[in-house]
Amino acid sequence: MSRRIREFEQCCWDVRGILVRLGPDEVCCEGLTPRQCRVLRALGEDPDRDLSALAEREGLTPSGMSRRVDPLVDAGYLVRRRGTAADGRALTLDLTKKGTDALRAVEDTIFGGIAALWDAVPQGKRAGVLAGLKLFVQAAEKAEAKAASSVRRIPLHAR
């Protein structure tokens, strides 16, 4: 492995560690996990997103996403309702007051830490850092898609 790859990996590891310390940890606001926080944030950004669209955004199957949101529904953060699709099967999730309050608390935690990080970047370098991060996210998504497409599917009967 090249020295540059090792250096890049170490930077990624370091950034991950810092972001974990700045934002919600493994169990954050009101006992929500970071994955549950992502669900609340996604619905806060786009309240009309149905369960299938939410699953696609998170790289899960609809049943996998359903298992992720079940505890949020059970705890009163979300309610399910029938979608407006013609067949009526598409489920939509709505934030409750408890969910909206938790989302606000999560975002206060996230943005407070991220604001401190942003302020630590020299003002003249911020545009370059932001452009670099956007490029990094695009590259990560491309690498993830490539890795997902190269996974060999094993038929169920062969497992």
Residue 88 DSSP label? S
Long-range contacts of 82-91 (CB under 8 A, 24+ apart): 83/50, 85/50, 90/50, 90/51, 90/52, 91/50, 91/51, 91/66
Beta bridge partners of 79: 94
Most confident of 60-64, 91-95, 126-130: 126-130
Amino acid at 135: L
E runs forming strands in 11-145: 78-82, 91-95
pLDDT at residue 155 tops 60: no
Mean model confidence pLDDT for the chain: 83
Domains for the chain: give ranges and CATH numbers: 3-147 (1.10.10.10)
Q: End-to-end distance of the chain based on CA atoms, in angstroms?
A: 34
pTM of the predicted protein model: 0.69
71 contacts 62 by C-beta, under 8 angstroms: no
pLDDT in tens, 23-67: 655 556 667 888 888 899 999 999 888 888 898 888 888 899 999
